[in-house]
Structure 1
Amino acid sequence: MVTVTPLEAELLRIAGAVPDPELPVLTLRELGVVRAVHVRGADAVEVELTPTYTGCPAVEAMSLDIERALRARGMREVTVRTVLSPAWSTDDITDEGRRKLREFGIAPPRVRRDVQRDGGPVPLELGPTRTRAAAADPVRCPRCGCADTELLSRFSSTACKALRRCLACREPFDHFKEL
């Protein structure tokens, strides 16, 4: 069991409160990418950050924003280390993060309890192009809640989102893809 000091807990809250640069409606804690904070001296800290996918272009911006927030707290030396194992999963998004995505007009990823967390390959399923209310876990429209939606494009404004359309209200919307 890892013991977290009160200072580490405070610094983890500060780092986790940084908004995601691509989805500023979410904090890095809600997105689930800030893994740990380790105090390395009186004013030195190391933060473990796991990107949503290898090569994520937002990692640099996230790191700089974390550094800025922790320096404002008085930490002179801030190191943000990218940690790839265990791989990030959309199951790491908190319930609050999922609620905020829905309110922002983005269908949150469906929860996948079968994700392997052993450092092995991360399974990826492309899924159906159309979902209906009769489906076990349909992609619901974040605007009207309808489960009758269709895939327009597997990629949207960012690589982690797909573009879908509701067949009831006819509005297009982003869907945060499950990983």
Structure 2
Amino acid sequence: MVTLARDIGDLRRRAWTAAATVVDPEIPVLTIEDLGVLRDVTVTDGHVEVAITPTYSGCPAMSMIALEIELALAREGIRDPKITTVLSPAWTTDWMSDDGRRKLRDYGIAPPVAGGGRRALFGEQQVACPQCGSTATELLSEFGSTSCKALWRCRNCREPFDYFKCH
């Protein structure tokens, strides 16, 4: 019995590790683990199921992410996995890792401000420029290069930048 539990635990760890290498097709510096999109990996009767949560309902990247998870698992010898999209609870930027936030900033995208969603409703949001760090920034458009991002500009260095919106 101990061997069976150990084998299941090993299979789950291998599957999680493989799935965690999948990158977001829209922001290739982030893995789905960095984003918090990778929610769970379970093993039942030797079969692997991976649960993922989209950053928002209707996210066009989810089908590509599911396919990439299947390919990553296949490279590890894990066949016929089940990829399940979980919509509840809804994804939140709180699920992003600190490393993911750093990667966004290094890539030139301002990471979401912790607890910023409520402040944004009242126009009080302060977003730091990922180029120079200044908070003297302004919103140009609620819509950036993808649905997850808004377009901002720094008043100090004058550079436009994407901001990963809070959810």
| Separation in 2, partners of 1:125, 1:63 | 32
Aligned-partner residue type, residue 97 of structure 1? G
Question: RMSD in angstroms over aligned alpha carbons?
Answer: 2.0
- 8 Å CA contact 2:15–2:78 kept in 1: the answer is no
How far the C-alpha of 1:107 sits from its partner, in A, is 0.3
Alignment partner for residue 39 of structure 2, among 13, 28, 35?
35
Please name the residue that 2:141 is paired with.
153
Please name the residue that 1:135 is paired with.
none
Give a deviation string over 1:18-48, Cα, whole Å, max 9, x none.
1111100000000100111112344x31100
Please name the residue that 2:5 is paired with.
none
TM-score by length of 1: 0.83
Q: Tell me which moved more, 98-107 or 73-82.
A: 73-82
SS at match of 1:139: coil
Give a deviation string over 1:84-143, Cα, whole Å, max 9, x none.
111110011100000000000000001129x9xxxxxxx795452x76xxxxxx200000
Alignment partner for residue 157 of structure 2, among 137, 154, 169?
169
Unaligned residue ranges in structure 1 (runs of 5+)? 116-122, 132-137
Alignment partner for residue 76 of structure 2, among 67, 73, 77?
73
Corresponding position: 1:106 with 2:109: yes
Stretches of 4+ moved more than 3 A in 1? 123-127
How far the C-alpha of 1:79 sits from its partner, in A, is 1.1
CA change 1:173–1:127 in 2 (3 A) is farther
- 8 Å CA contact 2:152–2:160 kept in 1: the answer is yes
Aligned-partner residue type, residue 110 of structure 2? A
Please name the residue that 2:4 is paired with.
none
- The number of residues matched between the two structures is 160
Please name the residue that 1:85 is paired with.
88
Alignment partner for residue 64 of structure 1, among 67, 71, 74?
67
TM-score by length of 2: 0.89
Alignment partner for residue 17 of structure 1, among 21, 29, 47?
21
1:121-132 map, 5 Å: 125-128=120-123
Unaligned residue ranges in structure 2 (runs of 5+)? 1-7
Q: Which has the higher helix share?
A: 2
| Separation in 2, partners of 1:35, 1:58 | 16
| Separation in 1, partners of 2:108, 2:41 | 32
Aligned-partner residue type, residue 163 of structure 1? L
